[in-house]
Structure 1
């Protein structure tokens, strides 16, 4: 037994040495990772610096990549600063006003990356210089807060428009409640908007003409925007038939008054069709010269009247005509106007107004669309055909 024990003792160091030889080495520390460089901040602009003939409605934007903006200054050539706002994350700056035509803007911007290393850029952006500018006017306007159910919206420019589609895309009508309507061009300078049917009574209408900066063709660009709001009043419609010669007046489809009237005589018949009251005058002088007949000619005249409500550009009015009271309701003796008594003309003047409707049937040739607000004298399909943009089927 002593010999076996001695042998075990002699072999033990050798076993321990073997165990130590096969154990995995333990490193003192892991190798250090190679550090990546922090990317530099990058500044860009839209439109890019150096751009020329930029549309002034193009929003000028300055952006920072790999960092934050620290300062942005944009200045017109005359030293006027262009205001702008910086996003909450300091990654972009956007001009808060449109650019001006024919102007060079100096842009200076600085940014820093996450380590605070700064970077700066500078340059300029130039806007287009049109051949001329077109100013829009809108009716109804601020002076006509309430109009009748027949009132079209008119936008008129003081220059010819050749790119009608571009202009039409810049026009917007918003109504409460929603109403189906469309724009239709009535010449090179005017575009009208009307609903498919008369406006619903008491509709609120908002018109936005966003034509500033819009190229209109042939070197013409929009000079300004317009924003107009108005309301449609009660539904007021007058109806007269040339065979009956009674002007019946309806408010919200209820008959409220009947007036004997005299329309245009055979040599100057009143056009048949739908008229819209354009303007009103307590005192007005009717002049034949306005439609080419001199006052001193056999058929000429220059006659003062009371309570004249204009229905057309060609000189059709509802007005007081005391000289024809005996003919009113019996025969047509006027030069085209709707003659009524002074008292009845006064009632019409006080109770009907701009945008209200007068429908004449059985009289002369059809009232032309261009004659006043004759927009209702075309079918809806014809109206849609006057748009420069594709329209949904009627």
Structure 2
């Protein structure tokens, strides 16, 4: 966030857009009643709206702008009607009409003297749009101007959609939980897509997005989330230019809860696990980590997150590159397994291991007694920090959810926007609009 007096989801505003050959080359305008001769009278207020009235196939990634001359803007309403017969791009959790209207609403930001208004979010492709703007002159006379136009539809095969996300709506997660968004198409314009994804938390936090490949974006906070709060992710993707000719076609909303704070520390040298909740130790138990005879059998050190859990799981070494017939092949039935990486690492019950608390004998997992593993299974949430110390194999940032392995400075450097986002304030840093639009508007006042 930039500390502006107005929502910072759009940080660029302008009076006129020189669009060069695009269909919104002029603006719809109108003037108020003739005030000549009136007490204190002067020039009539004039309003201009861009795109112009009647324009067709307007690019959805260009902003709606309203400017007032000889007066101030008092109200702007933007209404969108989806094309007839349009189906939702992907199944979403059912939302109330109020929530749906709020997510799909095209809000905007005024400059300090209320003479310029610029939309915060992009428009839905293939929609009919009506902009109604009202302004008032010094004598209180009002002027209303309406502009109606249509936006360019998204092309089949070039429609960016949400493929999956973690967490899901209504889930309760741990304080280390990232927000993971997987897209169905590669994203080239990563800064614009980052700027379209708004994270809102009840308690103050600062975070940023990083990309792992061209189809996965991950939001992580600078410090762990404060416990016991709600977080909402508003993905304003409709109309966002994800790549050349590729537009988002729908907005999405994810609502989840941050639960209690629980952090587990596993010491490879002392063979002990300590679980703290709210800063107090709630469980301490003996463990046995990887035997370290090979890299694959060495438990990774670093800040992990619990990812998923199984009451019963068949662990087959073939899934981590050790096939049947290999001297080190194994296939085990285990209970109370909680995953903490993608390289086959779980904390699980190992009643056969007689060296708990004394030696590291596993193939890389954290072995525990059945009683302790059951307790850990029952008391773990997805996204709980799980910190391993004392081994010579460092967790990779992209091994499971190893995102806390990057320092905050490194994380911020890897953000396409490159600015931190204060999640207890509305909006996002950067601009979701196309590059041409960004070049035509000037920075908002701070």
In the TM superposition, residue 378 of structure 1 has moved relative to its aligned partner by 0.9
Q: Which runs of 4+ in 1 moved over 3 A?
A: 43-48, 56-61, 74-80, 98-103, 121-126, 128-131
Alignment match, 1:69:
none
Match of 2:183 among 143, 157, 162: 157
Q: Deviations over 1:73-96 (max 9, x none)?
A: x9988699xxxxxxxxxxxxxxxx
User: Is the CA contact 1:206–1:230 (under 8 Å) kept in the aligned structure 2?
Assistant: yes
Task: Write the distance in 1 (CA, Å) between the matches of 2:358 and 2:278.
Answer: 28
Task: Write the distance in 1 (CA, Å) between the matches of 2:81 and 2:267.
Answer: 66
In the TM superposition, residue 259 of structure 1 has moved relative to its aligned partner by 1.3
Alignment match, 2:255:
229
User: Is the CA contact 2:124–2:249 (under 8 Å) kept in the aligned structure 1?
Assistant: no
User: Is the CA contact 2:397–2:405 (under 8 Å) kept in the aligned structure 1?
Assistant: yes
Alignment match, 1:370:
398
User: Is the CA contact 1:138–1:226 (under 8 Å) kept in the aligned structure 2?
Assistant: no
Alignment match, 1:182:
208
Of 307-316 and 46-55, deviating more is 46-55
Unaligned runs of 5+ in 2: 1-47, 67-79, 87-121, 131-145, 422-446
In the TM superposition, residue 193 of structure 1 has moved relative to its aligned partner by 1.3
Task: Write the distance in 1 (CA, Å) between the matches of 2:259 and 2:85.
Answer: 49
Match of 1:52 among 25, 50, 57: 57
User: Is the CA contact 1:204–1:229 (under 8 Å) kept in the aligned structure 2?
Assistant: yes
Alignment match, 2:381:
353
Match of 1:284 among 313, 317, 326: 313
Match of 1:245 among 249, 265, 271: 271
In the TM superposition, residue 44 of structure 1 has moved relative to its aligned partner by 8.6
Task: Write the distance in 1 (CA, Å) between the matches of 2:147 and 2:257.
Answer: 50
Matches within 5 A, 1:164-313: 164-266=190-292, 267=294, 268-313=297-342
Alignment match, 2:152:
127
* RMSD, matched Cα: 3.4
Q: Deviations over 1:144-187 (max 9, x none)?
A: 1x111111111111111100011011011111111122222222
Against the structure 1 CA distance between its residues 322 and 47, is the aligned structure 2 distance closer, same or farther, given a 3 Å change threshold?
Answer: farther
Task: Write the distance in 1 (CA, Å) between the matches of 2:190 and 2:288.
Answer: 42
Aligned length: 312
In the TM superposition, residue 128 of structure 1 has moved relative to its aligned partner by 3.7
1:138 aligns with 2:143: no
In the TM superposition, residue 319 of structure 1 has moved relative to its aligned partner by 0.5
Alignment match, 2:369:
341
- Could you say which structure has the greater relative contact order, defined with CA pairs below 8 angstroms and 6 or more residues apart? 2
User: Is the CA contact 2:124–2:250 (under 8 Å) kept in the aligned structure 1?
Assistant: no
Unaligned runs of 5+ in 1: 1-42, 62-73, 81-97, 108-120
Task: Write the distance in 2 (CA, Å) between the matches of 1:343 and 1:284.
Answer: 17
Task: Write the distance in 2 (CA, Å) between the matches of 1:311 and 1:289.
Answer: 19
